[in-house]
Amino acid sequence: MRPWPSCDVVSPSAEPGPDPAPAPLRPWPVIRAALIAGVLWVHGTLAAPWPDLDGGDLRYDLADEELQRWAATLSAVGIDTTPRRLADRLVAVGRWSRRTQRALHRPFRPLLRLTGTGQAWGLFAFPDPHPGRLTVRARPAKSPAGDAAPWRVLYRAPGAGEAWLVDLLENRKVRGIYDDTGDRPRAGFLWNRLCDEVARRIFARWPDLSVVELRFEVMHVTPPPAAGRNEVVGVRHRRLRRRSALLGDAPRGAGTGEAGGAP
């Protein structure tokens, strides 16, 4: 037996070079080629970099900085504009683009949803110099001496803290839940439920802890020559979870309180 037998049968159409007498087109290859053309059109237009944005997408520090830089660049080449006018123009184009895109793809949405297929590739299109560092801390209600107990850091991104918590929070699927939270002014819709679940697991593991805090420390990454280590410039989406509210007889929903001060 040949260890890697070559392909013995080759379709005539695979041979390069002109065909002196082309055979008539058969129906199935024509249908297939038409279907593939349709698939390429749908996925090509899905992948196209549509400027899909609205006003909410511009309410970030990074968006402000980009608008100022681009307005300055455009003004320098003779296109007179300001960050405000540029933003208005972008939002107008973005809304038109979103409507057009939806209309184009509406007939294919059910199939794309059923199969979970599509195209959307940014791959760090806008690296954010104001990222959030997820930090999880916890503490008992009081120290043995009766004072307010100090916080104990259980997790700090990237990769520091209790091994099981690192594994949990850095699982790629779990990270997806808070991907859209750390660097944005509004928390993702699953942030509160993730906080509940993490707190439950911490309380189950350490009976002495009574309060868990999850928050993002807002950093400012400055490239050289002004580089300093990531400077903490604020805190974002802080959530406190108390054992009594989350696991006790407290009313339903009491464990999902909004950001608050120290307990």
Show contacts with other proteins in window 49-108 (CB under 8 A).
Answer: 49, 62, 65-66, 69-70
- When asked if residue 110 is in the footprint of other proteins (CB under 8 A), the reply is no
Q: Which is nearer to other proteins, 108 or 149 (CB)?
A: 108
CA-nearest of 205, 209, 218 to 157 is: 218
Task: Give the whole-angstrom CA distance, residue 15 versus residue 24.
Answer: 17
Residues numbered 121-140 forming contacts with other proteins, rule: CB under 8 A: 121-129, 131-134
Q: How far apart are CB 95 and other proteins at their closest, in Å?
A: 18
Is 154:168 a contact under the CB 8 Å cutoff? no
- When asked if residue 14 is in the footprint of other proteins (CB under 8 A), the reply is yes
Task: Give the whole-angstrom CA distance, residue 183 versus residue 52.
Answer: 19
Q: How far apart are CB 169 and other proteins at their closest, in Å?
A: 11
Q: How far apart are CB 23 and other proteins at their closest, in Å?
A: 10
Residues numbered 200-239 forming contacts with other proteins, rule: CB under 8 A: 219, 221, 223-224, 227, 229-230
Q: How far apart are CB 85 and other proteins at their closest, in Å?
A: 18
Q: How far apart are CB 213 and other proteins at their closest, in Å?
A: 17
Pairing verdict, β 152-156 and 231-242: unpaired
Residues numbered 173-192 forming contacts with other proteins, rule: CB under 8 A: 173-177, 179-180, 182-183, 188-190
Which range binds other proteins by CB under 8 A, 13-21, 81-89, 140-148, 198-206?
13-21
Q: How far apart are CB 79 and other proteins at their closest, in Å?
A: 16
Task: Give the whole-angstrom CA distance, residue 237 versus residue 216.
Answer: 6
Task: Give the whole-angstrom CA distance, residue 61 versus residue 36.
Answer: 43
CA neighbours within 13 Å on the CB side: how many for 10?
8
Please pick, from the candidates 38, 56, 159, 263, the single residue that binds other proteins as defined by CB under 8 A. 159
Please pick, from the candidates 38, 39, 99, 164, the single residue that binds other proteins as defined by CB under 8 A. 39
